[in-house]
Structure 1
Amino acid sequence: MKKIIMITGLLAASFLVSCNSKKEEKEAPIKYTVTSPAVIDTSFTKQYVSQIKSVQNIEIRAQEKGFLQKIYVDEGQYVKQGQLLFRIMPKMYEAELLKAQAEAKSAEIEFQNTKNLADKNIISKNEQAVASANLQQARAQVAVAKLYLSFTEIRAPFSGTIDRIPKKLGSLIDEGELLTSLSDNSEMFAYFNVSEPEYLSYETDIKNRADTKVNLKLANGDILKQAGKVELVEGEFDNETGNIAFRSRFPNPDKLLRNGETGSVMMVVPLHQALVIPQKATYEIQDKKYVFIVNKNNVIKSREIVVKGEMPDLYVIESGITVNDKIVFDGIQKANENDTIQYDFLKPSKVLNSLRLHAE
């Protein structure tokens, strides 16, 4: 009986020791790595929502009223400069031309007869001058009639791609009515808006760079194979938004880009005295980014940050923290609000060096 009691006691003592050991192990504080934001001069690639436009994009409109007699092209077709696109019924204008030509012929005969008589001094030189003026007027009428007749043939003013054709054969077309649009997509413009601080940094830095190349990110996430170039900045800022418009030009040999398409211009933006932190020091909730700040009592508190730009393994911070703050760098997955922690502090410069080595 005594042996049973002794064994039971030993088992109980062993169980208590095991529980206490597990409790001590559970309550042992986790040691974190903590760092601070770094301030550096750098640059990062920023994306700007852009509107893509053809180098040339115009509306083709009727210059005369009439019935649409012929459509020589189809929607989406590539046409060459001078190619015939539409014909508006020209019968009336053909008749006007014939009439003008007949009057010009009559005026020419009259002038010739008057000249012969004037050469023989039968009539005065003034009558010859009047006949000459009548002939010039008749020829001018022929030129006008030819011009109006030419308006019934609508030709491509430049090479490009035909857009939608809203009117069908036989439609009555009014003067100035839209027939289609024509786009020259050999090269494309991408317009995007830049804030005033970024504009100032860009203009300051441009003197130190050999080019102003940019890339274009398409709506499906792909990057256009051909790089573009910033070629101009508009003359004034928008007072409502505080932005200024940039225009970049992209080659389009594959005709992948079309007028009205959307995308994002990716431009390298220089930054002076930028505040950066490691991306791994952040976490995200509902599209908002946070870090854990370590206060003077070694208690961690979450704080929302606003990210200005993204670099490999780093975020450029716009607001939310300062260079004097301490943030949890390693072990953030285990951290909880209001935890009291132990930590090792790692200088920001060493953190940046470790990230560079990791990237290499």
Structure 2
Amino acid sequence: MNAQTSQNKTDFTSNKFKLAIFGTLLSTVLLLNGCGQAGASKAEGAEAEKVAEKVIPIPVEVGMVKKGSISSNYTTTAVLEAKEEAFVVGRASGIIEQIMVEEGDYVEKGQILAKLEPERYELNLRRAQADMTGIEKELAKINKVYNQKLVSDDTYDKITAQYESAKATLALAKLDLKEATIVAPISGYIAERNAKVGNLTESFQRERMFYIVQQKELYGIVHLPEKELSKVHKNQKARLTVTALNDAEINAFVERVSPVIDSKTGTFKVTLRVPNDDGKLMAGMFTQVSLNYNTHDNATLLPRKAMLAMDDKVNVFVVDEKGIAKKIAIKTGYQEGNFVEVLDGLLGNETVVITGHQNLKDNATVDIVNG
């Protein structure tokens, strides 16, 4: 029994030792695994810090500040009108025998436009000439005997009056014959032709036969608010944008300024002189008018899209040579087209952000995508 007991104790001690060694090995393995995980976590943290420190440039588009001229303008609209126009009517009555021009033709002052049948007026002229000849002979006889006091003053006065009447009748007959030929009262283009061969034209009806417009120089009529009266003067420049000519820009000048204010509208009338030497403009064209009040030369011009309202100020982001966008507050002046005058804050040679600056922060790194 004692030997068996001793053997059991020996086996128990051996097993306990094995368990202790296994536990030690297991603890060592777990400790090594824990150290490995801790090392990996530290490496990952360092890498994340490096990624966080890396700056990602913000893509933007930029424009250039430049020097140039800029103006203060008042913008309105106007419809071009012919400076000279004439509605031609038949001053004599008769059948239209011949028409010499068509719509679109250019005619000079005095050029024949149409002719009426002249026979009636030719006969009236011949009759008046015959009457005039008879009266002249009678007056010649009376003059001879009147000087000798052989004819009374009353008879002499009647013959003299008849002579004056015959002379007037002859002049009217000549005028009627002349007016049977319709001529252009001004030089210009035939805008309308209402006359037709065979039609009867009655002088008392004053029917419009032709409409002539002179378009070498046109007028643009604008009505401005009364507060602008002190800013407008004769020969002041204006710029017209003509929609019908693909928004072509035409120079114009103030021809005259009305001295009165329309009490109903609170405006005054300004007439613009519009040169048309090349003949591209036509009466009736619609135009956008920019009346030039003043011009600043050698001004610092900023692209309008670069302006950004922040903190009750007008700001721009200026990009330096390192690609850093810095916010700068500016003071603006005139605005015209796509540019704004900068009175303070810029020198005139900066590169500014024009797209992508809405959410940009001061001193941000940017990537210029438009070169």
The TM-score, its normalising length taken from structure 2, stands at 0.62
Which of 240, 249, 263 aligns to 1:239? It is: 263
CA gap of 1:165–1:133, structure 2 versus 1, over 3 A, is same
Partner residue of 1:253 out of 245, 256, 277: 277
| Cα displacement (A) at 1:98 | 1.9
How far 1:6 sits from its partner (Å)? 11
Partner of 2:88: 60
Hey, what's the Cα distance between the residues in 2 that align with 1:95 and 1:187?
44
- The match for 1:70 among 95, 98, 123 is 98
1:200 lines up with 2:226 in the alignment: no
Equivalents in 2 of 1:180, 1:127: separation in Å?
A: 50
* Secondary structure, aligned partner of 2:141: helix
2: CA distance, partners of 1:266 / 1:45: 6
- Which residue number corresponds to residue 182 of structure 2? 154
Alignment match, 2:305: 280
Of 195, 201, 214 in structure 2, the residue corresponding to residue 173 of structure 1 is 201
Give, in angstroms, the shift of residue 120 of structure 1. 5.2
| AA matched with 1:89 | E
Aligned equivalent of 2:113: 85
Q: How far apart are the structure 2 equivalents of 1:87 and 1:238?
A: 46
Identify the residue that residue 26 of structure 2 maps to in structure 1.
none
What percentage of residue pairs aligned between the two structures are identical? 23
CA contact (8 A) 1:213 1:228 kept: yes
**Change over 3 Å in CA distance of 1:315–1:238 after alignment to 2:** farther
8 Å CA contact retained: 2:71, 2:336? no
Counterpart in 1 of 2:192?
164
1: distance between equivalents of 2:264 and 2:149? 80
Amino acid at match of 1:70: Q
Counterpart secondary structure, 1:164: strand
1:45–1:311: 8 Å Cα contact kept in structure 2? Answer: no
Structure 1 SS opposite 2:186: coil
TM-score normalized by the length of structure 1: 0.64
Q: Which of 199, 222, 227 pairs up with 2:248? A: 222
Distance 2:113 2:142 in 1: 46
CA contact (8 A) 1:279 1:315 kept: no
- Is contact 1:278–1:315 with CA below 8 Å preserved after alignment? no
Deviation at 1:269, TM superposition (A): 2.5
User: Which sits farther off after the overlay, 259-268 or 181-190?
Assistant: 259-268
Say yes or no: does 1:186 pair with 2:216.
yes
Residue deviations 1:19-77 (CA, integer Å, cap 9, x gap): 9999999xx9x9xxxxxxxxxxx842444312212221111111133211111112111
Aligned CA distance change for structure 1 residues 342 and 263 (closer, same or farther; 3 Å): closer
For 2:262 and 2:130, how far apart are their aligned partners in 1? 60
Q: Whole-Å Cα distance in 2 between the matches of residues 6 and 245 of structure 1? A: 92
Q: In the TM superposition, what whole-angstrom CA distance separates every residue of 1:282-306 from its partner, at most 9, and x where no partner exists?
A: 7xxxxxxxx76658xxxxxxxxxxx
Residue 215 (structure 1) shift:
2.9
SS in 2 for 1:214: strand
**Matched residue type, 2:268:** I
- Measured on the aligned residues, the alpha-carbon RMSD in Å equals 4.2
Cα distance, 1:67–1:331 mapped onto 2, change above 3 Å: closer
Q: 1:21 to 1:58 in 2, by over 3 A?
A: farther
Pairing 1:265–2:289 present: yes
Please, which runs of 5 or more residues in structure 2 have no aligned partner?
Answer: 1-28, 59-69, 296-300, 313-333, 343-351, 364-371
The structure that has the greater radius of gyration is 2
